[in-house]
Amino acid sequence: MKFIDLGLDQRILEGIDAMGYETATPVQQQVMVPILEGKDIIAAAQTGTGKTAAFLLPLLHRLITSPHQSGDINAMIIVPTRELAIQIAESIEGLSYFTDVSSIAVYGGGDGNSFTAEKKALTSGVDIVVCTPGRMIAHLNMGYVKLKGLKYLILDEADRMLDMGFSDDIAKITTFLPVQRQNLLFSATMPVKMRELAKKILKDPVEINIAISKPPEQIIQKAFIVYEAQKVPIIKDMLHSKRFTKVIVFCSKKQNVKQLTAELKKVKLLVEEIHSDLDQKSREQYLQDFRNQKTNILVATDILSRGIDIDDIDLVINYDVPNDGEDYIHRIGRTARAATSGTAFTLVSEKEQRKFADIEELLGLPVIKGKVPDEFGPTPEYAPKKSSTRNNFKRRK
């Protein structure tokens, strides 16, 4: 599903484009419509599925298209940790870049200056507040937080909040909020305690359960932990080894597809590219050439990761780490179809380690790390940081 089909405001579509998202992830496809319709939601969805944008996009759309109080807080997103608060605030900044929506992250552990800055925003009003429960209560107890116009409450990673003992804090925060509001709850798991909390907060919610598919077991998955500059030489080496007969290399961005294809053509590999800048006719021609073995390597964006019927691919290379876990599963699922075996390699740069760790979490097990031959020089350690460096948004001036 394309974002444009959802009727999102043009300014938000521009933000989506700047973030590099092309199609909606499964969780986005399921939750955005009911949110746009104003319904309460309870959604079981893990990190790595695109759940943040799933609630931010309809929220931003509703904020900019329906009248709202600019001197008030319109939406509150409560999250368990300051890292998540920062990460969501970054996503808001990216997705709302072409709108005038304001936001602030409010979390504990900062100095007196940050408390004063938060107080100022909460007193004068800000469209969206992303907060950790304890810090929000500290502000609420002082009485200056402008909440009369609040229309949206979002609880993200609600199961972690319960595990961390924030249940009473959340209940207390809700006593400060107007009763007429839309409530959205996202949680990776749905224990009984969660249902009890949901009953107290949500009104007649739409329940959404995103079943995470698992990759077929016969796929050998390996990740190579590398520096960005090592990716192209390593891929050339993998492709020259001739151990594989039909290969798809996935890149998240069309620019990378074009650049990599050009590099591979330079070294006389039989390669073509597939991305949305090509017309349908050329795409079909390149696919046909690949099927007929005129070429044996396709470099493609995720438009090729779903629903393309080519059976005998023996290697999938992820030039970069896909943006969400479902894309990873779809990409590597291009190999090992029809019960044959297949191999999937993923090149993980330093910046992508966090994103890859999220995918491993989604898969429920770590992916084997392959050894990079010494000739390519030293490689980084695999030490994914807890804090987010995942946001691939680049500012457009």
| Among the residue ranges 19-27, 172-180, 211-219, 373-381, the one whose residues contact ligand AMP (CB under 6 A) | 19-27
Our CB check for ligand AMP shows the closer of 139 and 334 to be 334
DSSP H or E run through 54 = helix 51-65
Does position 49 bind ligand AMP by CB under 6 A? Answer: yes
Our CB check for ligand AMP shows the closer of 3 and 290 to be 3
Q: Which of 48, 8, 1 is nearest to 22 (CA)?
A: 1
Angle between helical axes of 26-36 and 51-65 (0-180°, round to 10): 30
Does position 323 bind ligand AMP by CB under 6 A? Answer: yes
Coil, strand, or helix at residue 373?
Answer: coil
> Would you say how long the chain is, in residues?
397
Coil, strand, or helix at residue 158?
Answer: helix
Q: φ, ψ for residue 130 (rounded to 5)?
A: -110, 125
Q: Binder to ligand AMP among 324, 326, 350, 352 (CB under 6 A)?
A: 324
Q: Binder to ligand AMP among 11, 41, 52, 64 (CB under 6 A)?
A: 52
Residue 23 CB, nearest approach to ligand AMP (Å): 6
Q: Binder to ligand AMP among 11, 21, 89, 135 (CB under 6 A)?
A: 21
Q: Binder to ligand AMP among 11, 51, 283, 330 (CB under 6 A)?
A: 51
Residue nearest to ligand AMP (CB): 323
Are the C-beta atoms of 220 and 342 separated by less than 8 Å?
yes
- Complete DSSP assignment for 134-151: HHHHHHHTTT----TT--
Our CB check for ligand AMP shows the closer of 42 and 121 to be 42
| Among the residue ranges 41-49, 168-176, 190-198, 233-241, the one whose residues contact ligand AMP (CB under 6 A) | 41-49
Our CB check for ligand AMP shows the closer of 48 and 80 to be 48
DSSP H or E run through 361 = helix 353-363
User: Which stretches within 125-210 are classed as H helix?
Assistant: 133-140, 158-163, 167-175, 192-201
Does position 47 bind ligand AMP by CB under 6 A? Answer: yes
Q: Which two tokens stand for residue 102?
A: 């304001």
Residue 347, burial from CB neighbour count under 10 angstroms (0-12, 13-18, 19+): buried
Residue 111 CB, nearest approach to ligand AMP (Å): 28
| Among the residue ranges 49-57, 146-154, 212-220, 230-238, the one whose residues contact ligand AMP (CB under 6 A) | 49-57
Our CB check for ligand AMP shows the closer of 82 and 390 to be 390
Does position 25 bind ligand AMP by CB under 6 A? Answer: yes
Our CB check for ligand AMP shows the closer of 16 and 145 to be 16
Does position 53 bind ligand AMP by CB under 6 A? Answer: yes
Q: Binder to ligand AMP among 30, 35, 43, 50 (CB under 6 A)?
A: 50
Looking at the DSSP assignment, which residues form a beta bridge with residue 346? 223, 318
The residue type of 80 is P
Question: Residue written as tokens 């224990």?
Answer: 191
Q: Which 338-367 positions form the footprint of ligand AMP (CB under 6 A)? A: 355
The Cα–Cα gap between 33 and 38 comes to 9
Interface residues toward ligand AMP, by CB under 6 A: 21, 24-25, 28, 47-53, 323-324, 355, 390-391
